[in-house]
Amino acid sequence: MGKNLLIVHGGGPTAVINASLYGAVEEAKKHPEVEHIYAAKNGTGGLLKGEIIDLTNEPEEKLALLLQTPGSAIGTSRDALEAPEYEKMAQILKEKEISCVLMNGGNGTMDTCGKLYKACQAAGGDVRVMGIPKTMDNDIAITDHSPGYGSAALYMAQSTAELCADVKGLAIHVVVLEASGRNAGWITAASALAADQGGDGPDLIYLPERPFDEDQFVADVEELLKKKKGIVVVASEGLHDKDGKPIVEPIFKVGRATYFGDVGTHLAGVVIKRLGYKARGEKPGLLGRCSIYMQSKVDRDEAQLAGEIACREVLKGTTGKMVAFKRISTEPYKVEPFLVDIDEVMMYERTMPDEFINEKGNGVTEAFKEWARPLLGEEIRKMVSFN
């Protein structure tokens, strides 16, 4: 009997989520027993409305563009689901005769994955679900790192290197670059690799893993201003004080979501007010997860591989597992894929370990840089300075 496969995207996209989709589709095409390669249109939100895209006969040249398309080419969603919705999805899968499901997402999506699997069992079907890891934030447990992070890290490292060159050349201000990652500092930390360009990296790095002390920040900047007139600070969007209170005020509330002010602009304001020195904040925000120019080749290849493996496994009969990567060696860089129980990764948020953060809490260690460097997929472009 033929099999129908369904791919579902969950949560925020990355620069390589579509590379995993491509990997899964290409793998499925190699298996003659696969009748239809389906995708949920706009994630579980669309699936619940029965909106399904059939990718089976899409031409190869169109599919290959997935490797250079940011965002989610089949759409994704971020809705919190309730029990009856899982039952409904199980029902839809039954109707469409879908027995193999691949869910691509972060630790929230892995939770969905596990619950869908149980709902399908309860509905009496033989549905298998496999998870493909994806997050720019790199906060999924157990795996050495997650597809999506390498590209976000390259974006942050290269952008910081360029910003440092700009600020060194026109040394008139403190520039605070806001980095994504509210609870985990992996992306913020990657800015340290900017120094690989051959010159200076960022002067200060503030991670959400450490409480932020405004007085210490002002003292840090003041000290630096004695030596130079242009300073680059990288700060996580999720900085909070020692009591866990975000350093920026919540400015708006819409439904369950709270919107905070921009950390970069806030800290620039602190410099202006308390030190009377020029400052500005920059916030690339979503641009940091969708840059194709700064897509990491290592990240893209691993994302594609994760999609391939998940597809191969689900067709073999494996279920309730997520593809993960184990670091075999850093120099030369080598990872090995393996499977992990979905139960072990769902809803767990992995932050930076202490050995990756410096003692003063305003920078990272060499150990972090060694670990992160190969994930960029290429070297930070070399630069020159004569001043």
Residues taking part in catalysis: 137
- Give strand pairing partners of 132: 104
Question: By CB under 8 A, which span of 137-145, 202-210, 268-276, 334-342 interacts with its own copies?
Answer: 268-276
Find the Cα–Cα–Cα–Cα dihedral 144, 325, 178, 69, rounded to 10°: 170
Among 113, 167, 189, 342, which residue sits at the site for its own copies (rule: CB under 8 A)? 167
277 is a site residue for its own copies (CB under 8 A): yes
| 25-54 positions binding its own copies, by CB under 8 A | 39, 41-42, 46, 53
Min CB(341)–its own copies separation in Å = 28
Q: Is 225 in the site for its own copies (CB under 8 A)?
A: no
Interface pick for its own copies out of 282, 318, 339, 358 (rule CB under 8 A): 282
d(CA 212, CA 28): 48
Rounded CA-CA distance 230/385 in Å is: 14
Does 187 sit near its own copies (CB under 8 A)? no
Lay out the site mask for its own copies across 136-165 (x = CB under 8 A, - = otherwise): ----------------------xx--xxxx
When binding is defined by CB under 8 A, the residue of 175, 205, 239, 309 that contacts its own copies is: 175
Q: 189: closest CA among 315, 38, 362? A: 362
Closest by CA to 21, choosing from 306, 377, 233, is 306
Total residues in contact with its own copies, by rule CB under 8 A = 74
Three-class SS state of 235: strand
Minimum CB distance to its own copies, residue 204 (Å)? 17
Residues 54-113 that bind its own copies (CB under 8 A): 55, 58, 62-63, 65-66, 68-78
Q: Which of 57, 254, 329, 355 binds its own copies (CB under 8 A)?
A: 254
Q: What's the rounded Cα separation, in Å, for the pair 112 and 104?
A: 10
CA dihedral 373, 348, 106, 307 (to 10 degrees): 70
Quote the DSSP letter at residue 290.
Answer: S
CA-CA distance, 100 to 184, in Å (whole number)? Answer: 32
Among 265, 318, 330, 365, binds its own copies (CB under 8 A): 265
